[in-house]
Chains A and B, each alone.
Chain A
């Protein structure tokens, strides 16, 4: 099972087990169901090498709708969000998104251009970098 199929299966289980008023017990039951599934998925192996992670950083004056503006672009191109973090730095909006381009309906350049364009529309700065640079600078 690849990661995408795994994610879909996980979502199905969550929807089955967790109503809107989910309790801690219900969550524990989900985890119990998930463990054998995750174990059967095995090591990421080759799949991990095919992942092309890109780090998108959005910065600018805070106003409503910024997260929506960018998640809309990502959804439009079928870009998978691996991790997302949004905060205010000295009162300014800052959002960092790690996305996986494997399986997306665009390439790096296409995504970058679309995000920059959207950045101009909502008046924020957008930076788009392959993850390699973060690894080089921050990991030994």
Chain B
């Protein structure tokens, strides 16, 4: 036989039994040519362009997925950072544009569009300020729009004014969406070293150096990796890394194939495969479970950071060989509310925010989908965000914070968002004051390692 029985059955086991799916096929679309002094006109141009370019994506993806017998969980759009689309720089202008983007996405059947974003790592334009000021209203009045702010980079340092602005914005958004567990905050992420070709939400946007339209693919597959580790039994760490690498290779090959086929059929260039392990709340689809399969009693135990470092690095090594171009965030995500084992660990107190912060030094992104008490002050939130972004700035890696200061909720309770966003236990946050530091404002200058020329 062209393929052995074993090969066919193994492939089928991966696609049918181990929750393997392609997490997202994301179309990046340049909107910089949609600007207009009149925000109404800019919104109409955006609506027209999105519906012209993206309408065929969902059905094309469905067809390719069906041909290959692979599930593709999400179809999404990433747009140019909206702060860069020229219009009158007032918050109301961006709210008007946001409603057109939300409408276009809804009509075409997309669940999320990323790119309601501002890049302010070295300072603000008038448009950036207006866009950030509009976020509470946009995040509470739209369903599908995801938003981000890049507040730091290894080249420019950390914009603390932006961090404080984001903290205040999150508090207001939490208040405005309090009837739904402060869900508005779950659609926003603040970055250091944001990447321009990330296909995953909430942080996706279409970078300014990318082509007019492009297809990116985000793969996943913690379930497949977990089963492979369990089958490998009590092998040593070098062998364990090998098992993960081989599995990552297979997973990424499928993502590459899907991306090429979709891009071909749409006549659009293929961008990158982001080979991140992205969990869902479903049992057996958890990064925490992978760590526990490696030999930890619970995620958060001593050894967790080392295990996660091995996992993230092995994913990259295996995946990099399997795709024509690897990009995005690539590694392993550790979003608490979207991961069954992480939820359990946080509930039991095994996983604390401090341990998570350490883990983010070696994972692919950062403190993701963590809920903290609603009475956490703006200053404490600012310090919390600044700590995480500083890790990224100094270490030349992407870090991010997606935190939900759940309005009216206390540590030990939990908020449920439903669907992919899952359920977040409210975690204890250290409430000691950092006001004297964060209120100084200004920019933490770029690290010495930025001088690389």
Contact = CB atoms under 8 A, between A and B. Distances in A.
Given A89-B9, A96-B8, A137 B1 contact: no
Interface size bracket, B side: 20 to 34
A96 B5 contact: yes
B256 interface: yes
A127 B69 contact: yes
A112 B70 CA distance: 14
B67 A127 contact: no
Interface in B1-36: 1-3, 5, 7-9, 11-12, 14-16
A136 interface: yes
Contacts of A53: 2
Contact of B7 (A94, A129, A138): A138
Interface in A9-50: none
Nearest to A138: B7
Given A127-B69, A128-B69, A129-B68, A134 B11 contact: yes
A64 interface: no
B86 interface: no
Interface in A85-135: 85, 87, 89, 94, 96, 98, 108-109, 112, 127-134
B24 to A, nearest CB: 18
Given A55-B8, A127-B16, A130-B68, A83 B254 contact: no
Given A133-B254, A136-B256, A136-B257, A96 B1 contact: yes
B320 to A, nearest CB: 14
A57 interface: yes
Contacts of B11: 133-134, 137-138
A134 B3 contact: yes
B253 interface: yes
B3 A138 contact: yes
Contacts of B261: 132
B250 interface: yes
B9 A130 contact: no
Interface string B61-75: 000001111100000
Interface in A51-92: 53, 55, 57, 82-83, 85, 87, 89
Contacts, number: 66
B177 to A, nearest CB: 41
Contacts of B14: 137
Contact of A83 (B2, B9, B69): B2
B5 A98 contact: no
A55 B11 CA distance: 11
B1 to A, nearest CB: 5
Nearest to A55: B8
A130 B256 CA distance: 15
B8 A57 contact: yes
A137 B9 contact: no
Contacts of A132: 67-68, 257, 261
Nearest to B256: A136
A57 B68 contact: no
B8 A130 contact: no
A136 B22 CA distance: 14
Interface in B227-258: 250, 253-254, 256-257
Contacts of A94: 5, 9
Contact of A55 (B3, B70, B254): B3
Contacts of A138: 3, 7, 11
Contact of A133 (B1, B5, B70): B70
Nearest to A86: B5
Contact of A137 (B2, B5, B16, B250): B250
Contacts of A136: 253-254, 256-257
Contacts of B66: 109, 112
17 contacts: A85-B1, A94-B5, A94-B9, A98-B2, A98-B3, A128-B69, A129-B69, A132-B257, A133-B11, A133-B15, A133-B69, A134-B3, A134-B7, A136-B254, A136-B256, A137-B253, A138-B3
Given A57-B8, A133-B68, A133-B257, 15 more contacts: A53-B2, A83-B2, A96-B1, A96-B3, A96-B9, A98-B2, A108-B67, A109-B66, A129-B68, A131-B2, A133-B69, A134-B8, A136-B253, A138-B3, A138-B7
Nearest first, the 6 A-B pairs at minimum CB distance are A129-B69, A136-B253, A133-B68, A136-B257, A138-B7, A137-B250
